């Protein structure tokens, strides 16, 4: 039975059934992604940093990295962050990755941004989620393999009530 010019109930159910079968059999999956280092893993921050960077030393990057974010986050679900790394971004000297790490989150590695000399500027802006008050780190991995970082303590309040 048709009402108006829309799709019949039978056609709709057949379409939804076919879609359900495709999803159940992974028929809609795109091409498989290349293996990457897992970022979204529940672990302690020290374990995550060791897994990502091994035993490479991290230098103080306060003269190179500018981490812009509020000192008090009224809503931990949406905390604006901007990271800028002073780099010439030439093929010989550039920022390969910028990592954002929230020490107190269950999943501490919040994001990783891959850059190249063609990026022109080593900058990333994002909204991140913070589970509780703690340090947020911006880590820059340079083209020579060295690591620099800055940290900032961010206080997360509930509804702006200073908790």
CA-to-CA distance for 42 and 95, rounded, in angstroms? Answer: 27
Q: Where along the chain do its domains lie?
A: 45-156
**pLDDT one-digit tens code per residue, 145-155:** 999 999 999 99
| Predicted local confidence at residue 82, as pLDDT | 97
Determine if the pTM surpasses 0.85. no
Three-state secondary structure call for residue 67: strand
**pLDDT one-digit tens code per residue, 19-78:** 776 666 655 555 544 445 566 678 999 999 999 999 999 999 999 999 999 999 999 999
Residue 136's pLDDT band, with cuts at 50, 70 and 90, is: very high
Q: Return the sign of the alpha-carbon dihedral for residues 152, 122, 96, 78.
A: positive
| Predicted local confidence at residue 35, as pLDDT | 44
Residue 157: which of 76, 48, 69, 44 has the closest Cα?
76
Q: At residue 98, does pLDDT exceed 50?
A: yes
Q: Return the sign of the alpha-carbon dihedral for residues 60, 64, 65, 71.
A: positive
DSSP 93: B
Tokens of 6: 């829309």
Q: 123 with 35: CB under 8 angstroms?
A: no
DSSP 113: E
Mean residue pLDDT of the chain comes to 86
Task: Kindly write down the DSSP assignment for every residue of 77-126, as one continuous string.
Answer: T-EEEEEEE----BTTB-EEEEEEEETTSSS-EEEEEE--GGG-SEEEEE
CA-to-CA distance for 59 and 105, rounded, in angstroms? Answer: 23
| Predicted local confidence at residue 14, as pLDDT | 73
DSSP 33: P
CATH superfamily of 45-156: SoxY domain (2.60.40.2470)
Bridge partners of 122, per DSSP, are 85
């Amino acid at each position: 039975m048709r009402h108006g010019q829309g799709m019949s109930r039978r056609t709709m159910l057949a379409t939804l059934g076919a879609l359900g079968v495709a999803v159940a059999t992974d028929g809609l999956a795109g091409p498989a992604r290349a293996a990457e280092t897992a970022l979204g893993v529940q672990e302690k921050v020290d374990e995550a940093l060791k897994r990502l960077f091994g035993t490479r030393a991290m230098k103080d990057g306060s003269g190179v990295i500018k981490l812009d974010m509020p000192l008090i986050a009224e809503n931990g679900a949406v905390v604006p962050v901007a990271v800028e790394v002073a780099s010439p971004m030439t093929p010989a000297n550039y920022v390969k990755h910028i990592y954002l790490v929230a020490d107190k989150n269950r999943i501490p590695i919040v994001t990783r941004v891959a850059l190249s000399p063609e990026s022109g500027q080593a900058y990333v802006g994002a909204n991140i989620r913070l589970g509780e008050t703690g340090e947020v780190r911006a880590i820059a991995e340079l083209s020579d393999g060295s690591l620099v970082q800055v940290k900032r303590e961010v206080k997360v309040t509930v509804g702006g009530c200073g908790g």
